[in-house]
Structure 1
């Protein structure tokens, strides 16, 4: 039986980050917090190789004004897992 996911308010998004290290997960969360108001992040161990799972809830109804000092976003994004679903996805 899968745990029941909490129902989020309109405009809220639950983001789950899985990274090889806590530092990598924190860096991604930092970019998200720069773009959207967010709750405090929650981190958990992921797997047996020292990986980290980080959860953060962001409010997509509020976005910052364009800023020249904003961190750059990759022009392209490729995923190694692009063609297969994650273990917890249906």
Structure 2
């Protein structure tokens, strides 16, 4: 699973997201008072985080499926992610 996680991050998106968040924090203080702040840069950051989260969940879902020997689903969806994460949380 470690190798799969590394290959999913081969694009190097996570370090870029970290840098982007640090850059955003230079302009917007990360505090409760700024929860209503919005803009195109924050929207792009949130979308990028979603893409990285989706990739990480796909790796987790595939690794879990390989361990359990379950048949491959036709598509990955939020229901499958939720089910797998719930099972992992119960373990």
Short-chain TM bin? under 0.3
- Report 1 or 2 for greater relative contact order, CA contacts < 8 Å, sequence distance ≥ 6: 2
Greater Rg by CA: 2
The alignment's TM-score, normalised by the length of structure 1, stands at 0.25
> By percentage of residues, which structure has more strand?
1
- Structure with the bigger percentage of helix: 2
| TM-score after normalising by structure 2 | 0.24
